[in-house]
Amino acid sequence: MRNWIYQHWRNLGATLGRFGRTPLASLLNIGVIGIALALPLGLYVVLVNLQTFARERAPVPQLSIFLAMDAKPADAQAITARFKNHAGVKNHRFVPRDAALAELKARSGLADVIDSLNQNPLPDGFIVEARENSATALETLRDEMKRWPKVTHVQLDSAWARRLDAVLRLGQLALLLLAGVLAFALAAITFNTIRLQVLTQREEIEVAKLIGATDAFIQRAFLYYGALLGLAGGLAAWLIVWGGLVLLDNGLAELARLYGASFRLQHLSLQDSVTVCLAAAALGWLGAALSLRRHLAAFDPH
């Protein structure tokens, strides 16, 4: 067992040595893989940020109910009572007209415009979350509430969220396609790199085979190399995306501040980062394994 660990340790050392012996070629390879992986990874971050943005603005489809301008507090209480007894309503929130104005002022960046108004143009309102979020259930609820006394308008604000969702789904599909193509590129790069290494180490492989080395023994160092190459490429991609996000984030924060809002970009989560690096290592290993299968067969007896 100790011997087995020693052998693997020794192989790892030898593999790192191989990187060290050809620093420029290795760096270029890592760079190419890093850039190739940074494309889908960057797109992924953009999608994650858009999704978060969308979720913050419209967590679940909501119904906004606007009362008539002349509605009295008693009317609002009557409607609250209706909500409490209604089976289709999950929860509801009363938004008095003053609070609505204050919120608009805080969130939209239109503070100056609102301050110039001499009266509040907003009615009292309710925000309602339904128990069921299917389109038909929501529309039935909307039509029912429209008929209640002192209700002037019911707005179902899920439509734009749905459109955004559809766009995001399209984005995810594009991401999958891009990731698939570039994963193939990564495997192809390691395939070719390992092919060249097998060619330059022909003699060593031939001698090792002649004196009883198993294929597993010969392949080990190459597989390590492929996996490490993938891993380093994954790390490079992570660095590229991280650097890009840091630069963009500062610019976006500045832009958001000018609009009177605050906005921060979301970075890659630890889990996503680890997944990317491991997937890159696995692809490197796969490319190396395919290459070895193809190129070590030439040494077998016939």
The binding site for another protein (CB under 8 A) comprises 3-4, 6-7, 203-204, 206-215, 217, 300-302
Closest to another protein by CB, 14 or 106: 14
Supply 188's token pair. Answer: 């192809």
When the beta carbons of 212 and 258 are compared against another protein, the nearer one is 212
CB of 30 to another protein, least distance (A): 24
Alpha-carbon distance 224 to 279, whole Å? 14
Minimum distance, C-beta of residue 185 to another protein, in the bound complex (Å): 32
Find how far residue 34's CA is from the centre of its chain.
Answer: 18
Distance of alpha carbon 83 from alpha carbon 283, whole angstroms = 56
**C-beta of 11 vs 172, nearer to another protein:** 11
Shortest distance in whole angstroms from residue 209 CB to another protein: 7
Helix (H) or strand (E) holding 302: none
Q: Nearest 5°: CA angle at 37, between 33 and 39?
A: 130
Residue 50 beta carbon to another protein: minimum distance, rounded to whole angstroms: 52
CB of 266 to another protein, least distance (A): 49
Closer residue to another protein in complex, CB, 87/212: 212
Q: Which is nearer to another protein, 99 or 207 (CB)?
A: 207
Separation between Cα atoms, residue 273 and residue 281, nearest integer Å: 12
Specify whether the CB–CB gap between 123 and 97 falls below 8 A.
yes
User: Which residues does residue 154 pair with via DSSP β-bridges, in sequence order?
Assistant: 65
Tokens of 13: 């050392």
Which residues fall within 8 angstroms of residue 149, CB to CB, at 6 or more apart? 75, 78
Whole-number Å distance between alpha carbons of 266 and 54? 13
Output 62 or 219, the one with its CB closest to another protein. 219
The residues pairing with 94 across neighbouring beta strands, listed in sequence order, are 126
CB of 222 to another protein, least distance (A): 15
